Structure 1
Amino acid sequence: KLIDSLIVFMMTIISLLLLASLLPHLTFTARVNVGIVNGREAKPHSRPYMVSVQTKEHHMCGGFLISDRFVMTAAHFLTVVLGAHDLRKKSENSVRFTVDSYHQHPDFTMESFHNDILLLKLEKKVQLNDNIKWISIPAKEGDIEAGSVCSIAGWGLLETNGKRSDHLMETNVTVMNNMECESKWGKDDFSTSQMMCVYGNGGSCDGDSGGPLVCGDTAVGVTSFGDPDLCNSLKLPEVYIKIAAYIPWIKKITGNVN
């Protein structure tokens, strides 16, 4: 029931077994290898908060900068990367940072994707510029109104079992009523207090997990999972971790990032 179910399982096992050896190699770079189904190419560097979570310079999922020291992503991936547009252009500015520490939500487990949220603290502050900026997150707990039009972005697959995009892609999505989403996924998989769903002509696919759901100028959700067999499924809508439900935990780790 996960967008990246096979990769997730493999990476979780590897991460748990080799965590001590991986931590020194967690890095940030603007060179990404990540798409959005039925999306459009984003204006170059119009989403400077976007991060590519990578292993050995190979993109695994998305993430986003929430301050000059912290990146937010999904908990089922443990390594990261920042902001290019065209992956083929080596002339684009590239910055690499060592990750000082990672903070997986204490209640995340391999059995489900509840509490699928992770914070990565960089070794030092990022030098912000036109291509690298952080995005605001909610200041307090609360829900996004059903019917709200928001957006997502990523370098993941352009269709189920398809090819990845070299360019950052984006699309608009609409927030679904949480009770309707629960009825589609079931109470075991979906938590109305911790998650939210979206639907639309376009949507996320493999390689987009961990990226932000942006409403206005605020990141309100973290891409978590969806139909395991079909990207942008009508039957099983994409699920996002509701950032507002984790504000106390986030502030405990980061302080007031806004």
Structure 2
Amino acid sequence: MVSIQRKNQHICGGFLVSEQFVMTAAHCFTEGEKLTVVVGAHDHNNGSSRMDVKFYHIYPGYESKGLLNDIMLLQLHVKVKKSYRVNWISIPDKDKDIKAKTKCSVAGWGKITTNGRASAKLREVDVTIIDKKACQKYWKNLYSTSRMVCASGHGGFCQGDSGGPLVCNKVAVGIVSFNQKNNCDSPTLPNVYTKISKFLPWIKCILGGVKQ
């Protein structure tokens, strides 16, 4: 889990998928702005190291309006060393649906309540995957059953959690993408994540393109 920062301020979450790549949401990037990545942090500034981004790989089909294909890979300038604080997470090895009612978790430093303050400590909450047809009923045409996955629970994500991982059985299957606007506290619509397995050919292409 990493903190993605702009001008040393946390704006999004992300997660290491290899020694040189961080996966996050494409909507965390604004043209012309420089992002840095803080790895090994639990509290934002504690025992962590800040790394520069060398390349921003935004999925070519990303649509900012409806947040379709909301996925980005950040290539770091230097390779990350594994330690007890720093590691990368597995992603799916093939494109398959995540079964409804699967218990998963999501983590981040985002706001704890709508328009509240961001959390200084990394927080994690359990969520349950919702059937994709049910999710489409909730979100209508904003929801893509093949490219998104949705989940709900007693907690969920809020502003500042974008880009963080949805983890099921120790595998990152989704990226925090969008939720009900201005309602983190008691949303009536489930949280939506980008479904990572749909993008495996592109991910492999980007990760494979830098092997020395």
SS at 2:206's partner residue? helix
1:207 aligns with 2:160: yes
Aligned to 1:76: 27
Q: Deviations over 1:210-246 (max 9, x none)?
A: 0000001110000000101201544211000000000
The structure 2 residue matched to 1:147, chosen from 101, 122, 125, is 101
Distance 1:256 1:151 in 2: 31
CA–CA distance in structure 2, aligned partners of residues 113 and 123 of structure 1:
27
Q: How many residues align?
A: 204
Aligned to 1:16: none
1:55 maps to 2:12 = no
- Matched residues, percent identical? 50
Secondary structure (helix, strand or coil) at the match of 2:112 reads: coil
Tell me by how many angstroms 1:93 deviates. 1.9
1:124 is displaced (CA, Å) by: 2.1
- The SS at the match of 2:99 is coil
Are residue 242 (structure 1) and residue 195 (structure 2) matched?
yes
Give structure 2 stretches of 5+ with no counterpart.
30-34
Is 2:115–2:182's contact at 8 Å kept on the other side of the alignment? no
- From 53, 68, 81, give the equivalent of 1:114: 68
Local SS of the residue matching 1:144: coil
Q: 1:170 to 1:194 in 2, by over 3 A?
A: same
Question: Matches of residues 27-66 of structure 1 in structure 2 within 5 Å?
Answer: 50-66=1-17
CA distance in 2, matches of 1:227, 1:80: 28
Question: Which stretches of structure 1, 4 residues or more, deviate above 4 A after TM superposition?
Answer: none
State whether structure 2 residue 35 is matched by structure 1 residue 99. no
Report the secondary structure of 2:4's partner residue: strand
Q: 2:134: which partner in 1?
A: 180
Q: Which amino acid aligns with 2:97?
A: D
Which amino acid is 1:64 matched to? F
Give distance in 1, aligned partners of 2:103 and 2:36. Answer: 28
1:145 deviation in Å? 0.5
**TM-score w.r.t. length of structure 1:** 0.76
- What whole-Å deviation, never above 9, does each CA across 1:147-198 have from its counterpart, x for those lacking one? 00000111111111112211111110000000000000012x1000000100
Which residue matches 2:184? 231
- Taking the aligned partners of 1:165 and 1:61, their CA distance within structure 2 comes to 12
Q: Relative CO higher for 1 or 2, CA cutoff 8 Å, sep ≥ 6?
A: 1
Residue by residue over 1:21-63, the C-alpha shift from the partner in whole angstroms, topping out at 9 and shown as x without a partner, is xxxxxxxxxxxxxxxxxxxxxxxxxxxxx11111011010110
Q: Distance in 2 between matches of 1:160 and 1:69?
A: 33
Gap runs ≥5 in structure 1: 1-49
Match status 1:86 vs 2:37 = no
Q: 2:32 aligns to what? A: none
Question: 2: distance between equivalents of 1:228 and 1:218?
Answer: 28
Aligned-residue Cα RMSD (Å) equals 1.6
Are the counterparts in 1 of residues 165 and 173 from structure 2 also a CA contact under 8 Å?
yes
**1:108-153 Cα shifts (integer Å, max 9, x gaps):** 1222200000001111211111111100000111011100000011
